[in-house]
Amino acid sequence: MNRFDGVKVLLTGAASGIGRATALRLTAEGAAVFGVDVSEEGLAATAAAVTGPGRLVTGVADVTDEAAVVAATDRAAAALGGIDVLINVAGVHRATPIATLSVADLQHLFSVNLVGTALFCREALRYLPDGSGVIVNVASLSATQGNPYMTAYSASKGAVLAFSLSLAAELTARRIRVVPVSPGTVDTPLTRRPDVVPQGVDLSYFNRIRAPFGSAEPEQIASVIAFAASRDASYLTGAELRVDGGAHI
């Protein structure tokens, strides 16, 4: 008996990093997962790594495209025979000193991180069952800790956290759980991008986000996402799970 046998999961950001690790973790525990991402190539690589006993079906969609989110949610429900769990992992990061912060940066970060998450919540709620449905939204350490050059990213993740807490309150009537999960620094393509640190800035500022436990592997976040999504967490809702290696200590 696997923990996710018979559980149908809609997962965004499944093509890379934490999302890929989550797809592999959940399918290893028996889940049927519909993985969404903008990267067709990345989704194919995730699918190739799945060994079961669960299964992964994939669909390309941009989380900022409302019509695409509606269609992807319907496709997921049709492919899996329903949706029990929604996990929003898709996200983007861009570090920018305040002097060069642009409206385009702000709009891009909010559009993917907040609007994409909100749209998938709204659409998945057409399918999530009262009494047992679960939403897990990936926020960030940056939602509750100030970090240099991350004003826009932090604000977008703070918005994901606040959105999730209010959604949890609204969904108590349906007994649907909402759990924001906030990773610290995780070793993924997102943190390896050359523009994750702007050119010519004071790197010593980054000592602030160095966690006592160092960087996490994506699997160390996926295991907590899996817990939050599972029946093991049936009394957990509206509470942020910080998985940051002691960065807040």
Which residues are known to be catalytic? 153
Q: Which is nearer to ligand NAD, 15 or 80 (CB)?
A: 15
Residue found under tokens 């990267």? 39
Using DSSP's 3-state secondary structure scheme, residue 211 falls into coil
Q: Compute how many other C-beta atoms are within 10 angstroms of the C-beta atom of residue 130.
A: 10
Q: Of the listed pieces 69-77, 133-141, 163-171, 228-236, which binds ligand NAD according to CB under 6 A?
A: 133-141
Distance CA 197, CA 149 (A): 8
Q: What angle do CA 222, 220, 159 make, to 5 degrees?
A: 60
Tokens 């940051």 map to which residue?
244
* Cβ at position 171, least distance to ligand NAD in Å: 21
Q: Which structure tokens are listed for 56?
A: 């992964």
Q: Which residue of 112, 135, 150, 247 would you call a contact of ligand NAD, by CB under 6 A?
A: 112
x/- map, 171-210, ligand NAD, by CB under 6 A: ------------x-xx-xxxx-------------------
Nearer to ligand NAD, 15 or 125 (CB): 15
Please give the Cα distance from 33 to 27 (Å, whole number): 7
Choose, by CB under 6 A, the member of 9, 76, 90, 165 that binds ligand NAD: 90
**Contact predicate 86/134, CB 8 Å:** yes
Minimal distance, residue 174 CB to ligand NAD, in Å: 25
Task: Match 């295991």 to its residue by tokens.
Answer: 223
Cβ–Cβ under 8 Å, residues 73 and 10? yes
**Can residue 35 be called a binding residue for ligand NAD (CB under 6 A)?**
no
Binders in 10-29 for ligand NAD, by CB under 6 A: 13, 15-19
Interacting residues with ligand NAD (CB under 6 A): 13, 15-19, 37-39, 42, 62-64, 89-93, 112, 116, 138, 140-141, 183, 185-186, 188-191
